[in-house]
Amino acid sequence: MKAILICPAERPAVAALSEAGPLAILPALGKPLIAYWIEQLAALEIVKDIRILAADRPELVRAALGSGSRWGLRIEVVPEQRELTPAEAREKYHVNPSDGWVAAPHDINVVEHFPGLPEQPLFTSYADWIAAVRDWIPLTDKTNRVGVREIQPGVFAGLRTRIAPDAKLIAPCWLGDYVFIGPHSIIGPSAVLENRVVVESASEISNSQVGPETFVGALTEVKDSFASGNLLVNWRNNSRTTVPDDFIMCSLGKRRQYPKASGIFGRVLAAFLMLVTLPVAALVVLFAKLRNRESIQEFIAVRPQLSSTAPPTETFRYYQLATVKGFFRCWPQLWNIIWGDFAWVGNSPLSPAEVAQLSNDFERLWLAAPIGLISLADAEGVTGHFTDEARACASFYAVQANWKLDLSILRRALL
């Protein structure tokens, strides 16, 4: 049997919610809103064909839902010039149970509330949207969620979510898949963090929803707000702002193009420094030989690639002084800068074994930036080469890299 879902078009009261995409596919607890309606129809076991009427960017709705095979249904997204009312849709598409349509109230529905909760509208105000998502937390069907678990009463965490041991979670609270919560952070009450959100140390989020692939910087407070990328909307007073500082809030979802290594000036500078410090490096190697100790360590690194369509396979060798502590141990890597394998600022090199541990697209952003002699993790004082904090820094740098950020990293790392 057949059914119709009508996607909401313009809703001026919550215009900011539809900036990134149609309201029908707005993320809610890790899923597009319309997915809950499709799951409800699929649960009837008699609906096999769903027609989705979309006036707002139907191509994005189609891309988000596909053919419907994941639900065992056939989904057709039909573009409309404007949002139809249920009565108009009924007349236009000749909706009648005798013609193979499911009986009311499942035959035609407008996706403007969660299934079964028509008394709780979603798009009449930002406050209504936040309240409805919060109230939906205990009602969402966890049987359809791979990896979702209730880690403490009223606190749910998704697949591969990492939470610092000293972070505090206050119910109700929802953490999506691949979320990272830094140390000393306070999440909740009434906090919803969608998939692939990164929250750095000592941040606080309450009475708010943070959209997918959003970075929340250290010591940042998000309260009574809808946050997505660098967009921040306060639902109490309906004010909105664009956060200009990427270290406070930004989107992690957009990749940029990067040079593979330093330009000619960076290579000349590396050659000059290598030549000037060559006598010191030679003495270090000589002393190690005299004491029968290993003087140089060899490592293998995976070469970064801008495309994520295939796993990176190309590797190269780089070296460190084995008997030296501090920054001078990286002296042989000046040659990698000259040769073009390294940049002055970038992400730390990864071995093939470490690359195999990058488990999702967000973590694989590490390889979308050039390898650098100095990294953002170095500037932030992160301990450990491959810790969760180091991965968050590497992904952030891969998305936000620019010459101003590079200068800031050099200044903080060297000073």
What whole-number distance in Å separates Cα of residue 273 and Cα of residue 150? Answer: 55
From 158, 156, 155, select the one nearest 171 (Cα to Cα).
155
Domains in the chain, CATH or no CATH each? 2-124 (3.90.550.10), 142-251 (2.160.10), 264-414 (no CATH)
CA atoms within 13 A on the CB side of 231: 16
β-bridge partners, 15? none
Determine the pLDDT at residue 310.
47
**pLDDT of the residue at 309:** 44
Alpha-carbon gap, residue 361 to 364, rounded angstroms? 5
For the chain, which residues score pLDDT lower than 50? 256-259, 308-310
Cis peptide before 32 (omega within 30 of 0): no
pLDDT value, residue 365? 85
Structure confidence at residue 142 (pLDDT):
61
Specify the length of the chain in residues.
415
Q: Mapping DSSP to helix (H, G, I), strand (E, B) and coil, where does residue 347 land?
A: strand
Q: What are all long-range contacts of 150-157, with beta carbons under 8 Å and residues at least 24 apart?
A: 155/188
For the stretch 80-111, pLDDT in tens is: 999 999 999 999 999 998 888 999 889 999 99
Cα dist. 221→199, 210, 252, 397 in Å? 10, 12, 19, 22
pTM over 0.75: no
Angstrom distance (rounded) from CA 69 to CA 360: 23
Strand 204-206: give its sheet, edge to edge. 168-169, 186-187, 204-206, 221-223
Identity of the amino acid at 206: S
E strands, 255-392, in order: 296-302, 315-321, 343-345, 372-374
Find where tokens 């000393």 sit. Answer: 184
